[in-house]
A and B are shown apart, each in its own frame.
Chain A
Amino acid sequence: MIKNIMLVGVGGQGTILASKLLTTGLMEAGYDVKMSEIHGMSQRGGAVSSQVRYGENVQSPVIEIGGADILVSFEKMEAMRWLKYLKPEGKVVVNDYEMDSMPILSGKVDYPSGIIEDLKVKVKTTVVDAAKQAKELGNPKVMNVILLGTLIKAMGLENINWNKIIKDNVKPKFVELNLKAIEVGMSLA
Chain B
Amino acid sequence: MKKLLTGNEAIARGAYEAGVRFASAYPGTPSTEILENIALYKEDILAEWATNEKVAVEAVIGASYAGARAIAAMKHVGLNVAADPLFTNSYTGVNGGLVIVSGDEPGMHSSQNEQDNRNYARFAKIPMFEPSDSQEAKDMVKEAFEISEKYDSPVLFRITTRLCHSKGIVQCEDRKEVEIKEYVKDVKKYMPVPAHSTIMRVKVEERLNKLEEFSNNTPLNYIELNYTGSNDKKIGVVASGCSYKFAKEVFGNNASYLKLGFTNPLPKALMKEFASKVDKIYVIEENDPIIENELKMLGIECFGKNTFPYKGEMTPDVIRKSVYGENETTIDYDESKVVSRPPTLCAGCPHRGFFYEIGKRKNTVISGDIGCYSLGFAEPYNAMDWSVCMGASISMGHGAQQVFNMKKGNETRVVSVLGDSTFFHTGINSLLDVVYNKGNSINVILDNRITGMTGHQENPGTGYTLQGLETETVDIEALVKACGIKNVRVVNPNDLKEMKDTIDWAYALKEASVIITRWPCVLKKFSKEDKEEFQGAFQNNFKVDEDKCIGCKKCIKTGCPAISFDKTVKKANIDKGPCVGCGICAQVCPVNAIAKEAK
Contact = CB atoms under 8 A, between A and B. Distances in A.
A45 B338 contact: no
Q: Contact size class for A?
A: 35 or more
Contacts of B167: 23, 33-36, 61
Given A40-B109, A60-B316, A80 B338 contact: yes
A62 B110 contact: no
Query: Helix, strand, loop or mixed for chain B's interface?
Result: loop
A103 interface: yes
6 contacts: A27-B4, A33-B167, A38-B161, A59-B248, A83-B333, A107-B565
Contact of A64 (B165, B245, B317): B317
Contacts of A83: 330-331, 333, 335
Given A43-B455, A83-B333, A107 B166 contact: no
B331 A40 contact: no
A94 to B, nearest CB: 14
Contacts of B162: 36, 61-62
Interface centre among A40, A104, A111 (most CB of B within 10 A): A40
Contact of A61 (B166, B346, B563): B166
Interface of A: 10-11, 23-24, 27, 32-47, 58-62, 64-67, 77, 80-81, 83-88, 100-107, 109-112, 115, 118, 122-123
Contacts of B380: 106
Interface of B: 2, 4, 29-30, 109-110, 133, 161-162, 165-169, 242, 245-246, 248-249, 315-317, 320, 327-335, 337-346, 372, 375, 380, 453, 455, 523, 553, 556, 559, 561, 563-565, 567
Contact of A104 (B30, B133, B339, B453): B339
Residue from the set A35, A60, A66, A123 with the largest chain B CB neighbour count within 10 Å: A60
A88 B343 contact: no
Listed residue (B317, B343, B563) with the most chain A CB atoms within 10 angstroms of its CB: B343
B331 A88 contact: yes
A61 B564 contact: no
A115 B455 contact: no
Contacts of A109: 339
B331 A41 contact: no
B556 A60 contact: no
Contacts of A37: 165-166
Contacts of B4: 23-24, 27, 33, 35
B2 A102 contact: no
Contact of A44 (B109, B168, B331, B346): B346
B315 A123 contact: no
Given A33-B4, A35-B4, A41-B372, 20 more contacts: A33-B167, A34-B133, A40-B30, A41-B343, A41-B453, A43-B523, A58-B168, A60-B245, A60-B246, A61-B245, A65-B317, A66-B329, A67-B316, A83-B333, A83-B335, A85-B330, A103-B340, A106-B556, A110-B567, A118-B333
A88 B330 contact: yes
